Amino acid sequence: MTTAYIGVPTARVDGPAKVTGEAKYAAEYHAETLAHGYVVTSAIARGHITRIDAAAALKVPGVLQVLTHENVPRLPPPDPSYAEEVGPRGTPYRPLQDGTIRFSAQPLALVVAEDFGVARHAASLVRITYDRADHVTELDSVRSQAFVPHQWEILPPVPQPRGDAIKALAAAPIKCEAEYRLPVEHHNPIELFGTTVVFEADGRLTVYDKTQGVQNVQGYLCSLLGYSKDRIRVLAPFVGGAFGLGLRPQYQVFLAALAAHVLQRSVRVTLTRQQMFGLGYRPETWQRVSLGAAPDGRLTAIIHQAVGITSQFEDYTEKTVQSTARLYQCDNVTVDYKLVRLDLCTPIDMRAPGTAIGQFALECAMDELAVKLHRDPVDLRLGNYAATDQAAGAPFSSKALHNCYRLGAERIHWSRRKPEPRSLRDGEMLIGLGMATGIYDALQVPASARCELTADGKLTVSSATADIGTGTYTVMTQVAAELMGVPIDDVTFRLGDSSLPQAPVEGDSFTAASVGSAVKAACENARGQLIALAQTIDESPLAGLRADDVMFANRQIRSRSDRSRAVSLREAMRAGNLEVLRADASASPTPQQNRYARFSHSAVFAEVRVDEDLGTIQVSRIVSAVAAGRILNPTTARSQILGGVVWGIGMALEEESVLDQTFGRFINHSFGEYHVPVNADIHGIDVIFVEEFDEIVNPLGAKGLGEIGVVGVASALANAVFNATGVRIRRLPITLDKVL
């Protein structure tokens, strides 16, 4: 029997519950006398409600109440002690508190009934009249009004200029300047946003919510409803995808809790697919990249400007230009980031927020420069390889990007690429090869965990984190099982419960590093207690040994130098007369870590086949070579990269939320019209994990994978399409009309 699990391919421990239906999601929990709420949303983008007529709805048998701004309790002023974990600067929208319309599809009423069908029918009978106002939902119409957000709102801040990029660009023998556009995209997780609030007999609320942060939702509800934390418990043991949309509490959780509070009974509110398009989104972005280079390909100037969109009431920012300032060796760099206000709801983080957008522009520009220089795109990047973080002037904790380029190029047979577009064919199909670089922060943030070992050898480890499909359950189970030396089947990891030890929202690829480090610390605390107990045994085999002298394996504490010297975990606990041994711990970044630049890197290579007559594009192969430190579970890690690549294919070729500017409303708000990749779109995807040892980045040596998988995919595909057709497309998605 072995108890070594870290780095070993391991099937998801939550897999059986999901495939058998045992796993319950937010809108599947039962409660006695459960009522159902259906949301009525705004038909205009800006203005004021002049009248809400709910009389017809209230006459429908089974309707309990129609909640509007006219009859709900006024919320107390914002609680200064509560700060939403990922909320941008501004005034967060608070539903049903006034008659002002701020964006189309804004929730205006909640119809609550005994049955969902009744609530939905009654909602159609609510009549709302408006005093309309002119709205603005088009970026270009107000781009001249773009403003610079305060630096502290953007994390990390926009790097300061270095050198004189404008002067260096003017003097550069080779110049490449172009504009790039990316549309609004919506997250569209399979599980719709929903909340079941169970009204307990003592007036407490048990809230089952679709969220990436149960403690964040708990704080949000307490701050709005005036409850203490011991009166609201939030649970989300299973989440059917979120991709950043669940980082902030969405309006349905407040409406459900408000209805339960007002009616003093349990309430469920679930959004429709169409209503999901009224939530946050990846913001539309305009970018301009200017590169200057010497004839040998050495970069002499980089200028990257970006303008993103935000709402009228919050300043949502992204790290769109930060990577440009650090990725390549260049002495003269200026990056600039601005916002424009539109009459839309506030955007929200979407997989690889900002970086996926910024890298598209930068990496397409690098490809365009390679064409002008008649240089191989890989050679151009290697020629400008940065050994240190160019923005911070700090060394990297580790950087194996060089090997990503080499191994990725070998796997896709890059040497067969022809630099002249339209040179590689297969009958009527034009074949193109393109590549791009990926980079994403490898963060660790404060987190806590608890370890509980029972006398019968069962181990329970817990933290109030989430698992949105990334494999958190499994990876944390592996870490705990190996550190404590117990079989993985004897380990249970608990998450998604606001009553558990503190954890951040699950996002930005920091969960494995942050919560994993806390789990490691809790287990090490437990190990220390067990070693001390084992040494109290008369004539203990471990007498005189220090913590570094022993190992935990196969339910035993053993001497590293003499395996015959061992004490079982059961014996150690019996020595302390313990039925349960508990250990709590927290983990945070150290000053040493903060002296280094910590990033995951990748090199993405793509092959496309383009029909010369029809302009249709088939992604025949993608190779993603990723350097992300220690890979805790190759099985779930590969799935993370596969998912990111598929997301990148959608970003490049299909996804676009279309705004009807007349109404200020997204019009393709269904899977029939908002296109995402399906099985027929996906062909060969190769994932290479490049060996990378990093003892600085965090105690586990692991880097995030959720974001790095998508970064660089869209630009690699755009570059491949150019190589196939000679058509340079700078505005996503790349549709056949643009190719033709």
b/e sequence 381-396, b meaning 16+ C-beta within 10 Å: bebbebeebbbeeeeb
Type of residue at 712:
G
CB of 329 within 8 A of CB of 364? no
Return the closest-CA partner of residue 519 out of 580, 629, 444: 444
Distant-in-sequence contacts of 655-663, Cβ < 8 A, 24+ apart: 655/183, 655/185, 655/186, 655/733, 656/183, 656/184, 656/185, 656/732, 656/733, 657/183, 657/184, 657/185, 657/186, 657/277, 657/281, 658/183, 659/137, 659/138, 659/184, 661/137, 661/138, 663/44, 663/45, 663/104
Beta strands 659-660 and 665-666: pairing type? antiparallel
The answer to whether the beta carbons of residues 383 and 294 sit under 8 Å apart is no
Contact, 353 vs 182, CB < 8 A?
Answer: no
The owner of tokens 């801040």 is 157
What residue type is 385 in one-letter code?
Y
What counts of helices (H) and strands (E) characterise the chain?
17, 32
Residue 678 burial (CB count, 10 A)? 11
Q: Which of 314, 363, 506, 707 is catalytic?
A: 707
Distance CA 171, CA 373 (A): 16
Q: Where are the alpha helices (DSSP H) in 314-400?
A: 324-327, 355-373, 377-383
Tell me, yes or no, if 707 is annotated catalytic. yes
User: Which residues does 155 contact at the CB level (< 8 Å), separation at least 6?
Assistant: 319
Beta strands in 23-118, from DSSP E residues, in sequence order: 35-41, 47-53, 63-67, 89-90, 100-101, 107-113
Element (H, E) at 309: strand 299-310
| CA 144 vs CA 102, 139, 622, 664: distances in Å | 22, 9, 39, 20
| Residue 401, amino acid | L
- Could you tell me the CA-to-CA distances from 594 to 391, 599, 644, 661 in Å, in that order? 14, 12, 28, 45
**What is the C-alpha R_g of the chain?**
27
Provide φ and ψ at 426, rounded to 5°.
-140, 90
Nearest to 185 by CA among 677, 551, 718: 677
- Both tokens of residue 139? 């970026």
> Where does residue 561 rank: exposed (0-12), middle (13-18), buried (19+ CB within 10 A)?
exposed
Tell me the C-alpha distance between 524 and 526, whole Å. Answer: 5
Q: Which of 455, 462, 520, 472 is nearest to 492 (CA)?
A: 462
Active site residues: 707
